[in-house]
Amino acid sequence: MEKFFDQLSVPHLSKIIDLLHPCMDDYLYVYDFTNDYYFISPHAVKRFALPSNEFNNVIANHKKFVYPVDLYDLQEDLALIISGEKDFHNMQYRWLSTSCEPIWVNCRGYAIHENGKPAYMIGCINEIGVKQKADNVSGLLGITGLQQYLQDHSYTIQQGFLLRLGLDDFKEVNEKLGSDYGDMVLRRTAECISSCIKTGQLLFRAVADEFILLDTQCSNMKHAVAQYKLIRQTVDEFVEANHYEAVFTISAGILPCTIMKGHTFSDVMKLSEFSLNEAKREGKNRSYIFEQADYDKFLRRKKITQLLRQSVNNDFEGFEAYLQPVFDSVSNSIYGAESLMRFRTEEFGMISPFEFIPLLEETGLIMPTGKWMLHRSLTICREIQDLMPGFHISINISYIQVMKSNIINEIISAVDMHGIDTANVIIELTESGLLESDSRVTKLVSNLKNNGIRLALDDFGTGYSNFHYLNELKPDIIKIDRSFTLKALQNDYEYQLLSLMSNMVHSLNLKMCIEGIETNDELAKMSKLSPDYCQGYYWGKPCPYDEFKALYLTQ
């Protein structure tokens, strides 16, 4: 081998590297020990923080592009090569990219000797963390192939679409039938999609169970939808021909190429991923065409979620407990208040609870914020009771708290900590959340009753109303939702229905609270139903604690 290299000088080798570099992704190099000179494939400069593709003072210059943590080990190994103690260099370490990010490489080299001493080393550097360009399971080019294509044709793509396809519930196939079977399904799915490909279209394997079809000719998204339906039908036929061993469907996000203009490849992938996720969120086995308005809402939700997390980690800054008065219908005096969570940010101002509470529940942040709200509400109640000893506080509890935390112990210990009589505390659960009975809910209700804490079933008359909840949960108070109140005010049939409900509730020795009363006329009509408590804008909107004190406690 060395006899062959004896015929080549370092300048000759540098010219060979210069000729070969357009033909390969890896980086060839030669390191001249005698002249302390280094030459590497020119395209390496576009990727790494090299001073140039050729430079002297090699060891010192390596400090500019080798990840600092790895520099010492590299210098030690090179010293052994230069001293002649070893002939072959083989190391995995990190170089810095042009943006100073560490990138794992494998650097190999063979030392060539002259007159018995190491003269230079020639070798190859390849990235070992780079994404694979092709997928042997599906037989398709990988995502880097799509990236390269879009980069090469960015100025010529004027129309078309990017169709991101994803298998629905594919995880279950792997879990039930194994990964080898799952690979077979992916391969056959790729064949199904490929059979629907038209001239000029390209197909790539994205990640996991996703594929991307690129069309740069079509100008009408109806054709994209039609092609997706054809692919879906072909996949359904495979599932049937496979005797339903693996049952799955396929969804698609459609991104018009016109949307891609001005976006980086990373952005394009985010938009296509969003589109596919929307199709799945809307029920799966369907397609969704990208809409900027929907994406803006998604970004807003994402940003609000970030702000919620920051608030929780910053001692719940931005959260506040608002109070809405509840009046005793018999004495026409204030009975208590419902404590309602509010959230304010500098960026968006006051955010509706209909927007931020579902995000708290989805992320699990409802556990710490619910606990904070519990203590804040009881603190307020304790202070108010110094002025009004019989004041009652109603606190809303999320079903996520019931299912995923030891909420009953939290409630009991908090009530005891704040020194409040349990008879003055009401826990509200939303009726619309009770899709079916759960042992944790019945356990919570039982423990509340055993400790003298009352339960209110909120929003009764909406959603999945079932009267058997009255028997199973035996709540102390039924709260009639504003939407039901409105129907009863506007429709005689609904009013009679509410009247019958009132009679039934009272016959069971339960209390009834009618929410949403806003005018004198509404109060007069609802009063005929003999509610025990009333609540609504007629008496006041939810407001901060200081305002509540000024309006209802100092008069």
List the domain boundaries for the chain: 2-127, 134-290, 313-553
Backbone conformation region of residue 24, classed left if phi is above 0, alpha if psi is from -120 to 50, else beta: beta
Q: Check pLDDT > 80 for residue 153.
A: yes
Q: What residues contact residue 483 under an 8 Å CB cut-off, 6+ apart?
A: 461, 462, 516
Which residues touch 439 (CB under 8 Å, ≥6 apart)? none
Confidence class for position 351, pLDDT limits 50, 70, 90: very high
Q: DSSP of 354-388, one letter per residue?
A: HHHHHHHHHHTTHHHHHHHHHHHHHHHHHHHHTT-
Domain range 2-127, CATH architecture: 2-Layer Sandwich (3.30)
pLDDT digits (tens, 9 = 90+) for 165-190: 999 989 899 889 998 999 999 999 99
313-553 — its CATH code? 3.20.20.450
Burial 339-357 (b: 16+ CB within 10 A, else e): bbbbbebeeeeebebeebb
- Given a contact cutoff of 8 angstroms between Cβ atoms, the answer to whether 256 and 222 are in contact is no
Does the pLDDT value for residue 452 go beyond 50? yes
- Mean per-residue pLDDT for 407-414? 94
Q: For position 473, what pLDDT does the model report?
A: 75
- Determine the 3-state secondary structure of 302 from DSSP: helix
Q: Which of 504, 505, 446, 507 is nearest to 472 (CA)?
A: 446
In three-state secondary structure terms, 493 is helix
Position 434 confidence tier, pLDDT thresholds 50, 70, 90:
low
Q: What is the pLDDT of residue 432?
A: 52
Cα distances (Å, whole numbers) of residue 341 to 84, 269, 478, 549:
73, 37, 21, 17
Q: CA 276, CA 287: separation in Å to the nearest integer?
A: 8
The CATH number that domain 134-290 falls under is 3.30.70.270
Which whole number is the average pLDDT over 199-218? 91
Give the DSSP H or E segment for 96.
Answer: strand 88-96
Question: Per-residue confidence at 429, pLDDT binned at 50, 70, 90?
Answer: confident
Do the Cβ atoms of 456 and 394 come closer than 8 Å? yes
Query: How far is it, in rounded angstroms, from Cα 280 to Cα 210?
Result: 13
pLDDT-above-90 percentage for the chain: 70
pLDDT of residue 467: 64
- Segment 263-315, tens digit of pLDDT: 899 999 999 999 999 999 999 999 999 999 999 999 999 999 999 999 999 99
| Distance in angstroms (rounded) separating the CA atoms of residues 394 and 378 | 10
Q: Whole-prediction pTM value?
A: 0.75
pLDDT, mean over the chain: 90
For 375-405, the pLDDT digits (tens) are 999 999 999 998 899 999 999 999 889 888 8
pLDDT category of residue 91 using cuts at 50, 70 and 90: very high
Closest to 339 (Cα-Cα) out of 307, 305, 308, 377 = 377
Identical fold between 134-290 and 313-553? no
